[in-house]
Amino acid sequence: MSRTRRQHAVVHLGLAVGLALVAGPFLWTALSSLKPEREIRRDPPTFWPETWTLGNFVELFERVSIGTAFANSMLIALVLVATNLLFCSMVGYAFAKLSFRGKNVAFGLVLVQLAIPAIVVMMPQFVLIAKLGMVNTFIGIILPTVVTPLGVFMMRQFISDLPDELIDAARVDGAREFRIFFTIILPLCGPPLATLGLITFLGSWNNFLWPAVVAQSESVYTLPVALNILNGHETTHYNLLVAGSVVVIAPILLLFVFLQRFFIQGIATTGLK
Partner 1 sequence: MAVLTRRAPRAPAPIRIRSPLRQAGIAWIFILPFVVLFAVFYLGPLLVGIGMSFTDMRSTDVADPLAVDLVGIDNYLRLMDDGAMRRAALNTVVFVVTALPLTIGLGLAAAVLLNTGIARLPAAFFRLGYYLPNITSIIGIAVAWKFLLEPEAGLVNRLLELVGVQGPDWLQNEATALPSIIVMTAWRSFGFTMVVLLAALQSIPRELHEAAEVDGAGRWARFRSVTVPSLRPVLLFCTVYSSVGFMQFLEEPLVMTRGGPLNSTLSASLAIFNQFGVGNYGYAGAASTVLFTVIVALAVLQLRLGRRR
Q: Which of 205, 215, 220, 221 binds partner 1 (CB under 8 A)?
A: 205
**160 contacts partner 1 (rule: CB under 8 A):** no
Among 140, 192, 197, 224, binds partner 1 (CB under 8 A): 224
Under the binding rule (CB under 8 A), the answer on residue 179 touching partner 1 is: no
Interaction of residue 260 with partner 1, rule CB under 8 A: yes
Choice from 208, 218, 237, 259 touching partner 1 (CB under 8 A):
208
Q: How many whole angstroms separate alpha carbon 142 and alpha carbon 73?
A: 11
Only segment of 48-56, 64-72, 125-133, 189-197 that touches partner 1 (CB under 8 A): 125-133
Q: Which of 71, 98, 111, 254 binds partner 1 (CB under 8 A)?
A: 98
- Region 43-62 residues binding partner 1, contact defined as CB under 8 A: 43-45
> Can residue 136 be called a binding residue for partner 1 (CB under 8 A)?
no
Residues 84, 202: Cα–Cα separation, whole Å:
13
* Interface with partner 1, residue 21, by CB under 8 A: yes
> Which amino acid belongs to residue 215?
A
Interaction between residue 78 and partner 1 (CB under 8 A): no
First to last CA, the chain: 39
Q: Which of 66, 76, 85, 95 binds partner 1 (CB under 8 A)?
A: 95
Kindly give the residue spans of alpha helices, DSSP state H, lying in the chain: 2-33, 37-40, 55-63, 66-97, 103-115, 118-131, 138-142, 149-160, 164-172, 177-180, 186-188, 190-206, 209-214, 223-232, 238-272
Asked whether position 228 contacts partner 1 by CB under 8 A, the answer is yes
Residue selected from 36, 157, 166, 263 as contacting partner 1 according to rule CB under 8 A = 263
Non-local (6+) Cβ contacts of 148 within 8 A are: 84, 88, 200, 203
Kindly state the DSSP code that residue 145 receives in the 8-state scheme: G
